[in-house]
Amino acid sequence: MNASLRPALLLLLGLAWLAPGSCGPACGLQIPPHDQVARVARFVAHQCDWASMATISSHRPVEGQPFSNVFSVNPQASLSMSLAQTDYCRQQGFDPQSPLCAHIILSGSVLEVNGTEADFAKKALFSRHPEMIDWPTDHNWFFAKFNISQVWVLDYFGGIKTVTPDEYFQAPPHRKHH
């Protein structure tokens, strides 16, 4: 098994699961108002095609230490996505660490899926990452979803805000066009 490729796919799968949609980073970005925190969170997740994932390592010699990749599947993880991954922050002149360069952190656990859930995950993933359809199957890839327990949002001054999973999933992932 290729241990370095497997985590990458797992990570992207999680993303695809969270943010299926049709309007990619090429769309002119119009971020939702900062007081609509759940909408901002969905928006950021929808715009980003990849994320950085941190887990607690269960491998020597870094056992018990934070590790920003998925090596073993220690299911507790945190996933972060930022509009710095799009052109938005550069165009607006926002430093990636500025709260105005909206970013989110999802806390939760990684759960392997199968059956219809895996079919859905595959469709969502390949719609964003078509090249993966042809990746060799002998790397023990698996499809997973991210079971979100809390969403953290940094999109404005005044500190980090939280959104519950219910609020997150109820918010539309992109701007409604009327």
Ligand X SMILES: *[C@@H]1O[C@H](CO)[C@@H](O)[C@H](O)[C@H]1NC(C)=O
Judged by CB under 6 A, which of 76, 92, 114, 162 binds ligand X? 114
Judged by CB under 6 A, which of 4, 127, 140, 149 binds ligand X? 149
| Stretch of residues binding ligand X (CB under 6 A), selected from 2-10, 11-19, 96-104, 111-119 | 111-119
Site size toward ligand X (CB under 6 A) is: 7
| Stretch of residues binding ligand X (CB under 6 A), selected from 1-9, 60-68, 109-117, 168-176 | 109-117
| Stretch of residues binding ligand X (CB under 6 A), selected from 47-55, 80-88, 112-120, 123-131 | 112-120
- Does position 111 interact with ligand X (CB under 6 A)? The reply is yes
CB of 171 to ligand X, least distance (A): 18
| Stretch of residues binding ligand X (CB under 6 A), selected from 34-42, 55-63, 77-85, 106-114 | 106-114
Judged by CB under 6 A, which of 147, 156, 169, 175 binds ligand X? 147
How far is it, in rounded angstroms, from Cα 135 to Cα 138? 9
Question: Which residues sit opposite 55 in a β-bridge?
Answer: 67, 77
The contact set with ligand X (CB under 6 A) reads 109, 111-112, 114-115, 147, 149
